[in-house]
Chains A and B, each alone.
Chain A
């Protein structure tokens, strides 16, 4: 079993829909990242969380440390949101990051 599990693996939505991507992990962490990988391959850091909730534009990320779970929400989705969204956790011990396999999001016009 992977230390970081994302769901769903693939998600197709219509423009304007509210989207949720989930991330569950099994290790103790000091931080969790949400990353966006564009179709061209570049990776951008969206959020880094250690507790609570963060919001940036139409993106909202939440984390529940007790339940070892995080969600990434996209409100009013748009075709330009189409990308792979990756969850990564920094374990409490050490400096390494462990990644989920990613969620491929496609938003159709």
Chain B
């Protein structure tokens, strides 16, 4: 089954304790992306990756790191989490367009609800 998986689904942690949220897709998609969703602000892009070893900042990258060493995995790293990073996080993937002007739908993971105390 084609899917995007995230782990953990729920996490409560304390300020300053490094954590990693994993994201994996089995569709051989080139593009992967991380979003956070907050009440009243909607979804905002944190980082995205267009392929292995190619990453770029989204709208709200501060306090986050990512890596793309393999095509299927795109972990999100919080080196020193703070309470303002309490949020619902989504990973998504989509294929590189094969036709000029084409763009394909995104597949979203189930979300990770993070609470930083």
Contacts and interface: CB of A to CB of B under 8 A. Distances in A.
- Give the size category of B's interface with A: 20 to 34
Given A30-B101, A31-B103, A95-B50, A86 B110 contact: no
A88 interface: yes
A91 B115 CA distance: 32
A52 interface: no
A90 B35 CA distance: 14
Interface residues of A, number: 22
Interface string B23-59: 0000000010101000011111100101000001011
Given A97-B33, A99-B42, A101-B42, A42 B111 contact: yes
Instruction: State the majority secondary structure of interface residues on A.
Output: strand
A45 B50 CA distance: 20
24 contacts: A31-B103, A41-B88, A41-B111, A42-B108, A44-B108, A45-B106, A45-B107, A45-B108, A48-B104, A86-B43, A88-B43, A90-B103, A95-B31, A95-B48, A95-B50, A95-B56, A96-B48, A96-B58, A97-B45, A99-B35, A99-B43, A100-B42, A101-B40, A101-B42
Interface of B: 31, 33, 35, 40-45, 48, 50, 56, 58-59, 88, 90, 101, 103-108, 110-111, 113
Interface of A: 30-31, 33, 35, 41-45, 48, 50, 86, 88, 90, 95-102
